[in-house]
Amino acid sequence: MRRRAFLTGATTAAGLTAVAVPVTSPPSAAADDRAVPRVLSEPASTGGVVRPDRRFDLVAVARAAGAPAGAIRFETADGLGPWQPLDLHTGGRDDREPTASALVRAPRGATGYEVGGDARTAALNLRDGEELRFGGPERATLAADADDGRARRSPGPVRFRTRAGWGADESLRFDEDGNDLWAPVFHRTQLLTVHHTAMATTGDHAADVRGVYRYHAAELGWGDIGYHVLIDPDGVVYEGRHSGEDDVPVFAGRPRPGDARSVTAGHVYGYNHANVGVCLLGDFTDELPTRAALNSLVAVLRVLCAVTSLDPAAEITYVNPDTGARTPGETLSRHRDWLATECPGNAFAAEFDTLVRDRVSGRRRG
């Protein structure tokens, strides 16, 4: 198995300024090696209070699609706390049955949790697993080609942390025989969809990304993270879904305007093909994303529009490459524009046009 790493170089190629060097896994113990803890998981069956054997940071909850959302409560030294509603998202791979699921941050000092109703759960520990070591560059740059007139709409370049940079446990993508659990499929990009994780962040945002990755890849059985790009409250941008061994994130090779083929991920069930998912870390049901996160989101969407030749202000007809089904929509979409979900949060969704669409399209400065 090879682990990818990216190095910004002087060569600009059709929207990307990244030169890649492969790093074998595990890397040698070089001075610049980085170590992160493996995310640990403790699955459980529902029914009463679950008390994991080790401390836990997050609880993953999954139900059959269409099931009532239900609620969760946590046990601490003070006893059981109040029930809090679950914000379930229906998502997943289009070649599997859809799953309604949620990832919930546990309060400090939690000793147990209880989920109402029938569900599959797992307690995730982000801090105490064995060390995984990573070598190679942590960051890469995504930018519109300077020779492309569309670059005027981009504030690029956008710097982001590679999978090696945030500590993706690449073993989660393979079965025991070394087969890729979710082989990449690519289609010409038609639209961009914005999400939130609906989970309060822990303060260690790279660990939060590792938690989401473990949740999607292993707990839900997808074989990888369901988003192409993630953005934390500090505005740091993270590479998401693995797109092959060509060392170019999101796309199959260097994206060429009008023929930028993105890897299929699992962020909008039934509308995953040709749809790039960008997810903000946090819960925006009652509050807005930080200014730093919004600025990075706008910058990422502008660059993605530039390298794909998508008009951010356009209404479109999405054509499913598998089924041929045609669905009206918009180039820049919210998760809720395609499925019955509260994502990307009621507060954020209400301000989406002003905070995102108008800025990306140039109708609003900033």
Domain boundaries, the chain: 2-28+133-361, 40-125
> What is the spatial distance between Cα 138 and Cα 340, in angstroms, rounded to a whole number?
37
Angle at 226 between CA 221 and CA 228, to 5 degrees: 150
Is pLDDT above 60 for 274?
A: yes
Give residue 152's pLDDT: 47
DSSP lists the bridge partners of residue 186 as: 263
- At 141, give phi and psi (nearest 5°): -130, 135
Give residue 19's pLDDT: 29
Give residue 239's pLDDT: 96
Enumerate residues 6+ apart whose C-beta is below 8 A from 328: 315, 316, 317, 318
- Confidence class of residue 14 from pLDDT cuts 50, 70 and 90? very low
| Choice between 218 and 259, residue whose per-residue pLDDT is larger | 218
269 neighbors 220 (Cβ within 8 angstroms): no
Give residue 247's pLDDT: 67
Average pLDDT over every residue of 210-236: 97
Lowest mean pLDDT among 42-46, 93-97, 287-291, 355-359: 42-46
Most confident of 153-162, 273-282, 355-364: 273-282
333-350 pLDDT tens trace: 999 999 988 999 999 999
Q: Which of 201, 266, 190, 200 is nearest to 228 (CA)?
A: 266
Q: Which of 273, 280, 167, 180 is nearest to 222 (CA)?
A: 180
26-63 pLDDT tens trace: 333 343 578 999 999 999 976 799 999 999 999 999 98
6 neighbors 139 (Cβ within 8 angstroms): yes
- Confidence class of residue 254 from pLDDT cuts 50, 70 and 90? confident
Give residue 23's pLDDT: 30
Give residue 32's pLDDT: 56
CATH numeric code, 2-28+133-361: 3.40.80.10
Lowest mean pLDDT among 14-23, 171-180, 259-268, 300-309: 14-23
Average pLDDT of the chain is: 86
Q: Which amino acid is at 291?
A: R
Most confident of 149-153, 164-168, 253-257, 359-363: 164-168
Is pLDDT above 50 for 238?
A: yes
Is pLDDT above 70 for 232?
A: yes
Element (H, E) at 114: strand 112-115
Can you give the three-state secondary structure of 259-275, one letter per residue?
Answer: ECEEECCCCCCCCCCCE
Give residue 5's pLDDT: 33
Q: What percent of the chain stands above pLDDT 70?
A: 86
Give residue 271's pLDDT: 96
Give residue 75's pLDDT: 98
60-102 pLDDT tens trace: 999 888 788 889 999 999 999 999 999 888 889 999 988 889 9
> What is the spatial distance between Cα 212 and Cα 41, in angstroms, rounded to a whole number?
12
Lowest mean pLDDT among 22-31, 54-63, 178-187, 229-238: 22-31
- Confidence class of residue 151 from pLDDT cuts 50, 70 and 90? very low
**Could you tell me the two tokens for 200?**
């309060």
Q: Which of 316, 349, 341 is nearest to 92 (CA)?
A: 341
- At 299, give phi and psi (nearest 5°): -65, -45
Give residue 91's pLDDT: 83
